[in-house]
Amino acid sequence: MITHYCPACWREIAGTEAHCPDCGFDLAQDQALNFEEKLLRSLEHPVPEKRYLAIQILGQLGSQAALPGLEKILDTEVNDIYVLREVLVALSKIQGPRSRALLQKAAEHPFQTVRQLAQSLLARPAEPGAHT
């Protein structure tokens, strides 16, 4: 069974309500949001697995719009090494000067694991559409 969350307050909901019973957010309006926008919201999702999935999909989409959110995670995440790894892999897929600059920034990250992964991704030649 799929768990639904209110995108405004992250309360768990049944998925059938028109409005969030907690904060009153118009859930029908949320259905109208495009897929990418929903994924962008999920970057700050309280459930780690949802964040990982959103980051992976945004990477596959090559979403330039995700870069500010990914940068924020790089700058602020201090505990979850897995989310940082996902961010780096997504950045390597998104490509372009901005995502490359973020990878270069990550190559100076305080965590050694993050630095090493960023460096290896930077060393890899750009292969559009290649699988990791």
Chain residues in the site for Zn ion (CB under 5 A): 6, 8-9, 11, 20, 22-23, 25
Select 19 or 109, whichever has its Cβ closest to Zn ion.
19
How far is residue 80's CA from residue 55's CA, in Å, rounded to a whole number? 14
From the list 100, 106, 101, 105, the residue with the least C-alpha distance to 125 is 100
Measured from the CB atom, is 20 or 94 closer to Zn ion?
20
- Smallest gap, in angstroms, from Cβ of residue 16 to Zn ion? 14
**How do 12-13 and 4-5 pair as beta strands?**
antiparallel
Place of tokens 């490359």: 100
The tokens for 7 are: 């995108």
Q: Which is nearer to Zn ion, 27 or 106 (CB)?
A: 27
Compute the least distance from the CB of residue 5 to Zn ion, in Å: 8
Smallest distance from Zn ion to CB 132, Å: 36
Question: Max Cα separation, the chain?
Answer: 50
Least CB distance to Zn ion at residue 34 (A): 20
Q: Which is nearer to Zn ion, 23 or 101 (CB)?
A: 23
Instruction: Give start and end residues of each alpha helix (H) in 11-47.
Output: 27-32, 35-42
